[in-house]
Amino acid sequence: MSDIIQLLPDHVANQIAAGEVVQRPASVVKELLENAIDAGATNIKLLLKDAGKTLIQVIDNGKGMSATDARMSFERHATSKIQKAEDLFNLCTKGFRGEALASIAAIAHVELKTKQKDEELGTCIKIEGSKVVAQEFISTSEGTSLAVKNLFYNIPARRNFLKSDTVETRHIIDEFQRVALAHANITFLLHHNNNEVYHLKGSNLRKRIVAVFGSKMNEKLVPIDETTDILKIEGFVAKPEFSKRKRGEQFFFVNDRFIKSSYLNHAVVNAFDGLLEHGAHPSYFLYLTVPTSSIDINIHPTKTEIKFDNEKALYAMLRATVKHSLGQYNVAPVLDFNRDSNLDTPYSFKSNGKAASVPKISVDPDFNPFKEEKQGEINFPYKREKNTQSWESLYTSVETVDKTPQENLFEHQEEAKAQKTFQIQRKYVLSSIKSGVVLINQSLAHQRVLYEQFLESITVKEANSQQLLFPVKIAFSSAEIEMIYTIKTELENAGFSFDEFTKDSVTIKGIPISVTESKITIILEELLNDIDLEVPNASFSHFDVMAKSFAKTLSIKTGTLLSEKEQEGLVNDLFSCKEPTISPFGKATFKTLTLHEIDNLFNS
């Protein structure tokens, strides 16, 4: 039998390695930005076209490379960051594996221009699919410019798996924000399709956070600062009243490297115990500095997870530090032993020697909510007068005093015949059908109704829009403004009308008729979050994502009391839908119970 195991060709091995290193355009952005930082750059520019699919270019003013180093940088396992295995446990740089440029060059057209400070000429190298097609000396500025064009050009199947430009841009911006927040002293610029998205000047940490997430972030921040023998913690947490329903603005940095840690996140959330509403998440920007020998950053391919030697101690310190800062800045209640007790609200009035009198509330026994009111007359259940009747009178119905029990029974039966639907626990609507009854989830049913209405108005017919008397100006981060601008046409088709876009705000002068002015901000924030998270079961179309997001945000929620007319309207609207059986997210909107099934409940 012949041998069947053989060595892979270099270009195939490089493509396999590229699959581990380069998952999407954002992966390339992360690697190139980190290389620029390791090169000592103080000014870094990121240029994108078509969400990085056509072009990703990073230009820096770092120390550059010699002609030999420029050529060697595209070889596999070639790096200047480590020389021996022990260096892996004492890393102070970003990249160190020596696979990034080799992997990128295997699946794209790459052009590198670089020059060192003391050199008269720089080097230009062009590579296509791991093959060097040109190398020459050129006149260029100090530093490095690396352009990655036509990503995945030779792996069309991988390119087809990329999401829409909006989603891929969102991933790139996430990586850009993480790098920019980790290095506030460096100036960063981000241009997408010739539009400036970010221009972050080198500054301090607070200014960098505000520059990234908008001017309104400044009022939300509570500073954190603590230094111990094994850990230094600094940064900011957002005040509890500015908590969000999503986890977007949560950043941990360890030795200037962004990480994800559910363990440390739990410590921060624990510090907010009792201060957040159910389902809300705190925002934070926390920077931890620890000895490099006490962490292992080589446990995950993307280096976003870190293994700590003393996790429990870090957890306790982080929790205590955040809790202390929240109390120190009067965000959380604390014991203040220096408080002047004379300013406290007394339990009794000591000045006149009299105890505070208890207010009396009397109930009008004649109040009847079902009594027909005269025009201009309003009945109130409470009156500011002495109640002369006994408490038993509260349980006496005004209209039934002069009627026999039989008469009341017949009246209730007549009312029951007239009512076609009933609401159960403010969550379900029960309706009678020929074969039995149908139990409808009011929230899911309304989602289906709104989803089909929005989808039709966006894609088929022109949506109705209501003009606002006073335009509404809403603050967003630069990244969110870019995303809104990307889907501006779809939003206009849905009924929104925009007046002005700036770097950190958008002015809206018209909204869909089904949207109230108070919900504009909530709707847009939820939409951006849904696009960011790629709504489950959403198609490639922004229209579908938008219709689902609007339906979810504007639908009737559990706990909403519906009148009989509203109940009947919901039932009729649901069964007029094309797909009444399921919600936009694939959940059943109703369940039927036949008379036979009901009979079996009592015969078993």
Any idea what the CATH number is for the domain that residue 552 is in? 3.30.1370.100
pTM > 0.85: no
Q: Is residue 321 part of a domain?
A: yes
Residues 77, 181 within the same domain? yes
Pair 195, 309 in one domain: no
Q: What is the mean pLDDT of residues 96-122?
A: 85
Non-local (6+) Cβ contacts of 305 within 8 A are 259, 260, 261, 299
- pLDDT at residue 526 tops 50: yes
Write the burial class of residue 249 (CB in 10 Å: 0-12 exposed, 13-18 middle, 19+ buried). buried
* One domain for residues 189 and 225: no
Residue 187 and residue 48 share a domain: yes
Q: What is the pLDDT of residues 123-172, one digit of tens each?
A: 999 999 888 999 999 999 999 999 999 999 888 888 888 888 888 888 89
Residues 82 and 182 in one domain: yes
SS (H, E, C) 260-275: CCHHHHHHHHHHCCCC
Task: Write out the two tokens for 205.
Answer: 């940490």
Determine how many CB atoms are found less than 10 A away from the CB of residue 391: 9
Residue 470 domain-assigned? yes
Joined tokens for residue 144: 């490095």
| Same domain, residue pair 103 and 178 | yes
Write out pLDDT tens, residues 259-302. Answer: 888 889 999 999 998 888 777 888 999 999 988 878 777 656 66
Tell me the residue ranges of DSSP E strands in 240-325: 250-254, 257-259, 284-289, 295-296, 307-308
Whether 180 and 275 share a structural domain: no
Q: Is the dihedral of CA 304, 200, 533, 234 positive or negative?
A: positive
| Residue 18 counted as domain residue | yes
pLDDT at 439 (0 to 100): 92
Would the pLDDT of 376 be above 70? no
How many domains does the chain contain in total?
A: 3
Arithmetic mean of pLDDT over the chain: 80
What is residue 286's predicted lDDT score, i.e. its pLDDT?
95
Q: Which of 153, 170, 200 is the last residue of a domain?
A: 200
Q: Give residue 312's domain range.
A: 212-328
* Structure confidence by residue, pLDDT tens digits, 567-600: 989 999 998 898 899 998 888 999 998 888 888 8
Give residue 18's pLDDT.
64
Task: Report the first-to-last Cα separation within the chain, whole angstroms.
Answer: 70
Residue 350 has pLDDT above 50, yes or no: no
Q: Which of 328, 358, 388 is the last residue of a domain?
A: 328
Residue 338 is assigned to a structural domain of this protein: no
Do residue 77 and residue 170 come from a single domain? yes
Has residue 385 got a pLDDT over 50? no
Q: Is the pLDDT of residue 538 over 50?
A: no
- Please tell me the distance from the alpha carbon of residue 222 to that of residue 237, in angstroms, as a whole number: 5
Verify that 70 and 138 share a domain, yes or no.
yes
**Does the pLDDT value for residue 17 go beyond 80?**
no
Domain shared by 193 and 71, yes or no: yes
For residues 349-366, one letter each, b for 16 or more C-beta atoms within 10 angstroms of the residue's C-beta and e for the rest, the string is eeeeeeeeeeeeeeebbe
For the record, the structure tokens of 303 come out as 């280096």
pLDDT band at 384, cuts 50/70/90? very low
Question: Per residue in 404-455, pLDDT tens?
Answer: 555 554 454 554 455 678 899 989 999 888 888 999 999 999 999 988 888 8
503 and 553 together in one domain:
yes
Residue 400 lies in a domain: no
In a domain, 469, yes or no: yes
Q: Which among 365, 230, 351 is positioned nearest to 295, based on CA atoms?
A: 230
Name which of 7-11, 16-20, 309-313 the model is least confident about. Answer: 16-20
For residue 43, give the CATH number of its domain. 3.30.565.10
Q: Considering the domain boundaries, does residue 349 fall inside one?
A: no
For residues 300 and 166, membership in a common domain is answered with no
Q: Please check whether residue 280 is in contact with residue 244, taking contact to mean a CB–CB distance below 8 angstroms.
A: yes
**Would you say residue 582 lies in a domain?**
no
Nearest one of 241, 309, 250, 325 to 275, comparing CA atoms: 241
In the chain, how many H helices and how many E strands?
A: 17, 22
